[in-house]
């Protein structure tokens, strides 16, 4: 059962939303954890500074 356009999906570790494969990730899809550059920065930035307010997976 294969369909054209049936792209793999992942769940963003930052915002918790599902996102689909993109051309720009064709070489690093296994390493992609976030849906966008913005979430990627948020995730990186939240590591420093001792935040915790926007911890991933905290939403019900
Ligand atoms: Zn995201």
Task: Give the model's pLDDT for residue 24.
Answer: 94
Is 55's pLDDT higher than 70? no
Buried/exposed 8-47: b ≥16 CB within 10 Å, e otherwise: eebebebbeeebeeeeeeeeeeeebebbeeebbebbeebe
* Cα of 10 from ligand 1 centre, angstroms: 10
Question: What is the C-alpha separation between 3 and 42, in angstroms, rounded?
Answer: 34
For residues 55 and 46, which has the higher predicted lDDT (pLDDT)?
Answer: 46
**Distance from residue 50's CA to the centre of ligand 1 (Å):** 20
Tell me the per-residue pLDDT of 12-50, one tens digit each, with 9 for 90 and over.
999 999 999 999 999 999 999 999 999 999 988 865 555
- Domains of the chain, by residue range, sit at 9-42
Distance CA 1, CA 24 (A): 25
pTM of the complete model: 0.63
Contact 10, 33 (CB under 8 A): yes
How many angstroms is it from 17 CA to the middle of ligand 1? 6
Ligand 1 midpoint to CA 41 (Å): 10
DSSP 12: -
């Amino acid at each position: 059962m294969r369909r054209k356009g049936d792209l793999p999906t992942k769940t963003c570790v930052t915002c918790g939303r599902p996102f689909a494969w993109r051309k720009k990730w064709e070489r690093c899809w296994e390493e992609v954890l976030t849906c966008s550059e913005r979430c990627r920065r948020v995730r990186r930035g939240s590591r420093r500074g001792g935040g915790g307010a926007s911890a991933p997976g905290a939403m019900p």
